[in-house]
Amino acid sequence: MEPDQVNVLSPPVLGDFEQIQDAEEPRLPRQLWRNIGESDQLNRIYLDLAFFHSITAADPNVGMHPEAHARSDFSAAKAIAQPLGEGHEQSLTQVTSLSERVPVYMAGDVDAPILDLRKATSFGIISPAASFMGRLTRQNIRGGETQMRRGLLVSALGMMVLGGLASVHGLWGQEKKETMPEPTVKVGDMAPDFTLRGTHGQQVSLHDFRGKKNVALAFYIFAFTGG
């Protein structure tokens, strides 16, 4: 055995995982495991699969066995990188990549603290881990050590993506909803007088126009921008 063939990481596989795969799960969870199995026959690398699957709905107590009836109404997971959180169900069908997801988040409703444990476990952190480890087990059995290491790599990548998402998401989750100041001067009020300097330093006051002209007073955000 060559040194690079030594499997330094002893597989972090829990004994129950094979049982998860073999147990007859009804409906969607079972279907997704089957999907994983099918590509197995092509190349045994599995990169053609979605990283996250909406298979398991682990409870906060982190049961290992998928809950067969929970959340089974999801459509199949589409792609990598689904941020966890409020409205992530929609993200399954509408958004396929992280780069597309970002603007949705910036513009969207990110008021509440989003990373709520139950949702995270039911969709994100726990279940992909189970999924990857489950795959790992299978590779260990069918393939040689090469496949084993690949499996580990894929698994590790998946974890990194997850971790990154969780932290990025945490940041977004804390962002406050955009708040606009409420104008204190409203229709019917007397406009407060002011004196400001114009583009050449000349002083311009509102009272200059009193009794002479209407004033269209346009507050704009920044010079050199639209509007």
Partner 1 sequence: MQNFQQNLEKLEAADTQVLGVSMDSMFSNNAWAEKIGVSFPLLSDWGGEVTREYGLYNPQYKAARRVNYLIDKEGKVVEMQLDSEAIDPTKIVTLCERRKSEK
Residues that bind partner 1 (CB under 8 A): 178-194, 196-202, 204, 206-207, 209-224, 226-227
CB of 194 to partner 1, least distance (A): 4
CB of 201 to partner 1, least distance (A): 6
Structure tokens at 77: 């997971």
CA gap 57, 124 in Å, rounded? 9
CA distances from 158 to 133, 161, 223 (A): 11, 5, 45
Closer to partner 1 by Cβ: residue 10 or 225: 225
Cα 155-35-132 angle, rounded to 5 deg: 15
CB of 98 to partner 1, least distance (A): 25
Structure tokens at 90: 């929609």
Indicate the residue type of 52.
F
Which one, of 130, 154, 156, lies nearest residue 54 by Cα?
130
CB of 208 to partner 1, least distance (A): 8
Q: Can you tell me which residue has the tokens 């795959």? A: 135
Closer to partner 1 by Cβ: residue 61 or 219: 219
Closer to partner 1 by Cβ: residue 61 or 225: 225
Closer to partner 1 by Cβ: residue 38 or 189: 189
Closer to partner 1 by Cβ: residue 47 or 204: 204
CB of 102 to partner 1, least distance (A): 18
* DSSP one-letter code for 193: P
